[in-house]
Amino acid sequence: MKTILTSLIIFTFSTAFAQKWVDLANVYWNTSPANAADSTNSKWNLNTFAIDLKAPVVLNDDNVLLFGLAHQQNVITDNVNLNGDNSLKFSSSMIQIGWEHKWNAKSKMLFMSMTRLNTDFKFVDLSHFQQGAVALGTTSRSEKFDWKYGLYYNAEFFGPMFVPLFGFNWAINEKWRLKMVIPVNLELSYMPSDKFRTGLRFDGVNASYRTNLNTNLNWIDGYHIDKADNNAWAFAEFNLGKNVWIHAKAGYSIIRKYRIYEDSDQMNVKFGPVNVGDDRVETNRMFKNGLNFEARFIYRLPLD
């Protein structure tokens, strides 16, 4: 089970150190307060609450089934109308079904299907669903170094998105570890004991959500949010006992863009960071770069 579940750690981009744990439950709250906007003098606040649950089912030494449920709720408000009509709420609900197969003593591959409902729930139909998938391989060069490689796909509302994945997981020594899956994340961590871990991290996210515009209190459908959010973090986490951890981090966004487009405004394809056939007229950013703070409650299953 230890060797089979390590790809699940990389796929969910969890904060588990080395390959000793897998996160089965992850509940977090993220806030980015008082961000300046492009087009107004208002200050905008972004708050996110999310829960992510995983359940591995081991079939044998070479095969495991993976099931997951996740929900994320986002709320954007200004400093004047924190609960008023200017607030924008959108969410993502996801079902994950996967299979990991161990080819030999050194290599394994994870295949995962992800079905999302990304909507503000003002109106919901089949066009608010997205289908995604990922294939992620792991090849061990030694006990301290693994290569990671694969491909991610999602049917975003701005057009199909393909993201090549490449990286590694390197145990520099007993306390230091460097791991990355480009272009999704990069992490340097230090763990002086089994109950404390700290480090630096980068996370990049691109997603889209169906939304409706509020015009004179009338909701108009036919729009989507294009979210590009990249963050550099400093983090620390503590073991509270048994398998329960608290994870806290503070950071700053980099080239963050939340824009609203009409559904007819699409590109041909997005391949990693490159937009192909993108003739969209760029709209104003909903808010600019700013501070981010996050707190997580994590339940981890030891693999030893």
37-71 residue pLDDT tens: 876 777 899 999 999 999 999 999 899 999 999 99
Please state, in angstroms and as integers, the Cα–Cα distance from residue 162 to each residue in 96, 147, 150, 205, following that order: 18, 20, 11, 13
Kindly report the number of other CB atoms within 10 A of residue 293's CB atom: 14
The stretches of 159-282 forming alpha helices (DSSP H) are none
Please state, in angstroms and rounded to a whole number, the distance separating the CA atoms of residues 182 and 33: 28
Please state, in angstroms and rounded to a whole number, the distance separating the CA atoms of residues 32 and 45: 6
Checking if the pLDDT of 277 tops 60, the result is yes
Give, as one character, the DSSP assignment of residue 285. Answer: P
Checking if the pLDDT of 5 tops 70, the result is no
Q: How confident is the model at residue 83 (pLDDT cuts 50, 70, 90)?
A: low
Q: How confident is the model at residue 303 (pLDDT cuts 50, 70, 90)?
A: low
What's the pLDDT score for residue 84? 56
Query: At residue 10, what are phi and psi to the nearest 5 degrees?
Result: -70, -40
What's the pLDDT score for residue 54? 93
Please state, in angstroms and rounded to a whole number, the distance separating the CA atoms of residues 21 and 14: 9
Closest CA to 21 of 231, 201, 191: 191
Query: At residue 8, what are phi and psi to the nearest 5 degrees?
Result: -65, -35
Checking if the pLDDT of 217 tops 70, the result is no
What's the pLDDT score for residue 43? 87
Please state, in angstroms and rounded to a whole number, the distance separating the CA atoms of residues 130 and 260: 18
Q: Which amino acid is at 111?
A: F
What's the pLDDT score for residue 272? 87
Locate 67 and state its tokens.
């099931």
Does residue 243 sit in helix, strand or coil? coil
Strands (E), the chain: 21-36, 43-60, 63-78, 88-102, 107-119, 129-142, 145-156, 159-171, 176-182, 185-193, 196-215, 218-241, 244-253, 257-262, 269-271, 274-276, 291-302
| Percent of the chain residues topping a pLDDT of 70 | 88
Would you list the domain boundaries of the chain?
A: 2-302
What's the pLDDT score for residue 1? 42
Does residue 10 sit in helix, strand or coil? helix
Which position has the higher pLDDT, 266 or 17? 266
Please state, in angstroms and rounded to a whole number, the distance separating the CA atoms of residues 210 and 261: 10
Checking if the pLDDT of 85 tops 70, the result is no
User: Of 114-118, 120-124, 257-261, which gets the smallest average pLDDT?
Assistant: 120-124
Which position has the higher pLDDT, 212 or 53? 53
Checking if the pLDDT of 12 tops 70, the result is no
The whole model's pTM is what?
Answer: 0.88
Mean pLDDT, rounded, for 284-292: 89
Give residue 146's Cα distance to chain centre. 22
Q: How confident is the model at residue 209 (pLDDT cuts 50, 70, 90)?
A: very high
CB neighbour class for 18 (10 Å; exposed up to 12, middle 13-18, buried from 19): middle
What topology does CATH give the domain 2-302?
Porin (2.40.160)
